[in-house]
Each structure stands twice: as structure tokens, then as C-alpha cells.
Amino acid sequence: MLGILAGLKQEARVIRRFLPGVPLALSNATPEGARLGVERLLRAGATELLSFGCAGSLSPEAPPGTVIVADHVHHEGRNIPSDPALSMRFGSACARRGGILHSDSLVEFAFEKTRYFSETHCIAVDMESGFIAQSGVPFAVLRVVCDDATRDLPPAVKTSVKDGAVYIPGLVGSLVRHPLQIGGLIRLGKEAALAQRAMASFLQANPPQI
């Protein structure tokens, strides 16, 4: 039985359109949430896992909207291979291949992205795939790039998510403290919308095989 781990409610809504009956857990973009989510899925009987949602680009050649089916996850200094057969069922033949870096914290700055790309050769980063990769069951990673590797994230990204959704007080508070980030937030919103459309189109063209 398949189980899905996603970061945010918006991501969950996308995959639910295509896999409505599959058990799904949210990390709420926290390491503890990701760990508990994997545990819940395994207790529910999942024998294979999918890490799904957005990822931050580490490579200038992976712009927003790039759909990735990872061939490995880089976690705690080692590469953990994804399951080829499961990855094929999620469209690996039609997606960008490469490594996904797991990070327990948000990778905010362009210089960090450049360093991680140089050190690991991973093309993108997320906060869930490491927990999937070390679960002990076959896994796949289906992610779409939501931001540019060459730009810093706006400060509000750190404070504007709570319980898997947009947290308005955190967003407003950050805007008050850093009003010059408005342009960056608008750009990031457009990139996120592009990513969501790209993932929906990919899933429509490559329906998951479960």
C-alpha cells in the first residue's frame, strides 16, 4: 500500500486530485512533522512511500516549474537510492532526474544553494524526503521546483506558514519588519503558481500507477 508525505495542505490538494484514496500525511514543513508523518503512514500499513510537493532549486538549470522524479536522496552525508520501479510509476521517464537534498531547515539564501549544489550535486532541496528515504521501505520522490536557485527567499517565507497553510499574522508581521520584500513575495507567488500548474499538467500527462 502506498503512503504519501507532503509538506503543505496546498500540495496535498494537488495530489489528492489524482490519488484520492491513498493515505496522506503532512509534515507542516517541520522535521518533527515529517518524522511523525512517516510513522503514521507506516502504522497505517504503508509498504511504499512517496515524497510529494515543492522543492527549492539548487541548480541554475532547474528553474521554477521543473518536475523532478529523484533517483536518490542525499541525507546525512550519503546518497539513498529511490526505488526505480516505483519511480517509473510516477513518471520518471518523463521528468528531470537527479538528486534531492534533505534539509531540516529552510534553505533561504542563494549562496547556500550554490554551496549545497557544489557539495552534493543535488538539483533541489526539500524538508521531507530524508525521512522517507530512511524509512526502510521502497520510496519515490516527486517534486516540482518552486523558487529560483539564484535568488534569496523573502524573509516572510519563514514566518508565513503554520499548520500546513498560510499564516496571515506571520506574513503581515514580516511585511511590517521588511517592507522591501513585497516585490520578492509577488515574484515567489507567481513562481509557486507556475509550479503548481506544472505539477498538475505532469500528473495529467503521466497518471500515477498504483
Report which of 106, 95, 101 is spatially closest to residue 122, judged by C-alpha positions. 101
User: What is the reported pTM?
Assistant: 0.88
In a domain, 210, yes or no: no
Range of the domain at 72: 2-205
Of the ranges 38-52, 67-81, 164-178, which one carries the lowest mean pLDDT score? 164-178
Coil, strand or helix: which one is 10? helix
Coil, strand or helix: which one is 198? helix
Instruction: Give CA torsion, residues 173, 176, 179, 182, to 10 deg.
Output: 40
Q: How confident is the model at residue 189 (pLDDT cuts 50, 70, 90)?
A: confident
Side chain identity, residue 55: A
- What whole-number distance in Å separates Cα of residue 111 and Cα of residue 126? 17
In a domain, 156, yes or no: yes
In a domain, 148, yes or no: yes
In a domain, 201, yes or no: yes
Higher pLDDT, 162 or 48: 48
| H-type alpha helices, 121-181 | 129-133, 168-177
CATH of the domain at 9: 3.40.50.1580
Cβ atoms within 10 A of the Cβ of 109, count?
Answer: 12
Quick one: which H or E segment has residue 61? none
